[in-house]
């Protein structure tokens, strides 16, 4: 009776039907239950545009264009993109960790099949639908910007991985090249290794030819070029074993081509981002922040999106991004630990911005130094700083006002003075020895003291 009551209450909302889909690479299993009914239907859905369109059109014809709630273990991907095309379908992404926990509760034996998983997703939507947030795709320009900045970061990571492999192979057959150039995988080093992949080939070349190569690649310092020529002549090979050198040289040439292609791809991404960012309505807000240049400013904007109703407070951004820690409590024990379940790219965006801001913001540097003086590691201190930055970023984004470093620093000083005046029992000497760790307890408090609200 309890089950029927809960299901009936869940089915009396704004949806005409509820669907759970167990995603598959080529085929999906679905379970459907109309509102106000206890009967369930099951079926298969092929992962083709034609099959998905026919299935969605069938739901629209059956329920008279009324809205249908769809639950699946994806927030992005081919199936999500296809379902979001249809106005009568509302997609509810179910976190895989939540569905795994529900599966362990519903099937303690550990049994599993696709049809059963689709039914469990449907149960979660019916019984606990209020715990999940419907997927509301942003406007096309914002979604395009979000895709560009994320794919750019993936290309950068791939380039870093290829550069690390190049370093490993050079250590086997040509370690001197790592010392002769400032950046591994740079255009200069790439061109150099393409022409002379081994030390014997380089030493067999005439010095004027090598010097002409350096000049052609904008290496104009006569003193440094002379030092390089001397180093080229005096260097000794690490090994002469062809079994080691020849395979490594082939791998180096392949990696050089990969790095060059990735560098071109990153440049193409940068140009596309710049073109889109030039006319973005929030450009003035995010470029006003210290260290928010042509790379980080679009990433910060993509992190918040364009829908101001998406987040009601800065704390939602802090927890959703994974910057805020998790407090676990059991009995008399309570501990704080790192948040694992979160959008990794979103957390990376705030973490990287906070780390770079230390070099450009005086208050950020002061806060970071105080955290390190308390014994925190580098990344823990940067996360604490990112926690603070999110409050400021959110307030500026919400109120559509640019950031003012001078005003913020003045308000921090004024706030610290106000706090010290309200504590007469503390001596001036004690206050000077222990700097105030300034924190706003609410966004309203921050807005009041930063002048962001009227």
Domains and their CATH numbers in the chain: 2-137 (3.30.420), 143-277 (1.10.287), 285-450 (no CATH)
What was the pLDDT predicted at 67?
92
Question: What is the per-residue pLDDT for 412?
Answer: 65
| Eight-class DSSP state of 129 | G
Instruction: With a cut of 90, say whether residue 133 has pLDDT above it.
Output: no
Cβ atoms of 135 and 80 closer than 8 Å:
yes
pLDDT of residue 54: 92
Where is average pLDDT lowest: 74-78, 362-366, 431-435? 431-435
Confidence of residue 110 (pLDDT cuts 50, 70, 90): confident
DSSP structure string for 31-66: EEEETT----EEEEEESSHHHHHHHHHHHHHHTTT-
Q: Which pLDDT score is estimated for 75? A: 78
Contacts of 10 (CB under 8 A, 6+ apart): 18, 125, 126, 127, 129
CB-based contact 302:146 (threshold 8 Å): yes
Q: What is the mean pLDDT of residues 337-359?
A: 91
Range in 60-74, 97-111, 149-163 with the lowest mean pLDDT: 97-111
So what's the pLDDT on residue 414? Answer: 66
pLDDT band at 415 (very low <50, low <70, confident <90, very high): low
CA 87 to chain CA mean position, Å:
28
Give the gyration radius of the chain's Cα atoms. Answer: 29
* 418-446: pLDDT as tens digits: 655 655 554 444 444 333 333 433 333 43
Does the pLDDT value for residue 168 go beyond 60?
yes
Tell me the pLDDT tens digit for each residue of 208-243.
999 999 999 998 899 999 999 999 999 999 989 999
pLDDT band at 195 (very low <50, low <70, confident <90, very high): very high
Please name the residues in contact with 416: beta carbons below 8 A apart, sequence gap of 6 or more.
436, 438
Question: Is the pLDDT assigned to residue 318 strictly greater than 70?
Answer: yes
Q: Which helix (H) or strand (E) holds 10?
A: helix 2-10
Greatest alpha-carbon span in the chain: 91
Give the pair of three-digit tokens for residue 111. 């049994």
Q: Strand, helix or coil at 106?
A: helix
**In the predicted model, what is the mean pLDDT of residues 370-388?**
94
Which three-class secondary structure state does DSSP give residue 93?
strand
pLDDT at 363 over 80: yes
What pLDDT, on the 0 to 100 scale, is given for residue 413? 65
List residues bridging with 304 in a β-sheet: none
DSSP 8-state symbol, 103: H
| pLDDT interval class at 409 (50, 70, 90) | low
- Among candidate residues 237, 247, 251, 255, the one with its CA nearest the CA of residue 174: 237
């Amino acid at each position: 009776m309890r089950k029927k009551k809960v299901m009936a209450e869940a089915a009396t909302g704004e949806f005409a039907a509820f669907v759970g889909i167990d995603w598959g690479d080529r085929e999906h299993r679905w379970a459907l239950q109309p509102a106000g009914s206890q009967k369930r239907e099951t079926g298969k859905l092929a992962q083709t545009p034609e099959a998905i369109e026919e299935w969605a059109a069938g739901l629209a014809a059956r329920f008279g264009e009324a809205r249908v709630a769809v639950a699946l273990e994806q927030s992005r991907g081919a199936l999500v993109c296809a379902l979001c095309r249809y106005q009568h379908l509302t997609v509810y992404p179910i976190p895989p960790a939540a569905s795994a926990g529900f599966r362990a509760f519903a099937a303690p034996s550990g049994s599993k099949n696709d049809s059963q998983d689709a039914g469990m997703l449907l149960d979660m939507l019916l019984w606990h639908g209020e715990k999940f947030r419907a997927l509301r795709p942003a406007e096309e320009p914002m979604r395009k910007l979000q895709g560009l900045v994320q794919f750019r970061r993936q290309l950068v990571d791939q380039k870093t991985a290829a550069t690390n492999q190049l370093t490993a192979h050079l250590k086997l057959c040509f370690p001197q090249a790592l010392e002769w150039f400032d950046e591994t995988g740079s255009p200069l080093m790439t061109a150099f290794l393409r022409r002379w992949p081994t030390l014997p080939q380089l030493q067999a070349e005439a010095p004027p030819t090598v010097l002409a190569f350096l000049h052609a690649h904008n290496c104009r310092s006569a003193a440094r070029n002379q030092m390089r020529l001397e180093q080229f002549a005096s260097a000794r090979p690490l090994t002469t074993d062809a079994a080691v050198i020849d395979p490594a040289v082939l791998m180096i040439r392949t990696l050089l081509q990969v790095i060059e292609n990735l560098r071109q791809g990153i440049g193409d991404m940068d140009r596309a981002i710049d073109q889109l960012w030039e006319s973005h309505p929030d450009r003035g807000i995010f470029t006003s922040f210290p260290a928010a240049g042509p790379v980080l400013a679009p990433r910060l904007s993509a992190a918040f999106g364009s829908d101001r109703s998406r987040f009601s407070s800065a704390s939602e951004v802090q927890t959703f991004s994974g910057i805020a820690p998790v407090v676990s409590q059991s009995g008399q024990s309570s501990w704080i630990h790192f948040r694992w379940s979160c959008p990794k790219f979103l957390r990376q965006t705030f973490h990287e911005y906070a780390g770079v801001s230390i070099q450009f913001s005086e208050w950020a540097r002061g806060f970071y130094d105080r955290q390190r003086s308390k014994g925190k590691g580098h990344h823990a201190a940067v996360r604490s700083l990112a926690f603070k930055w999110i409050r400021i970023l959110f307030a500026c984004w919400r109120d559509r006002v640019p950031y003012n470093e001078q005003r913020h620093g003045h308000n921090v000083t004024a706030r610290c003075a106000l706090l010290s005046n309200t504590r007469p029992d503390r001596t001036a000497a004690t206050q000077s020895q222990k700097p105030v760790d300034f924190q706003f307890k609410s966004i309203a408090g921050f807005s009041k003291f930063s002048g962001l609200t009227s």
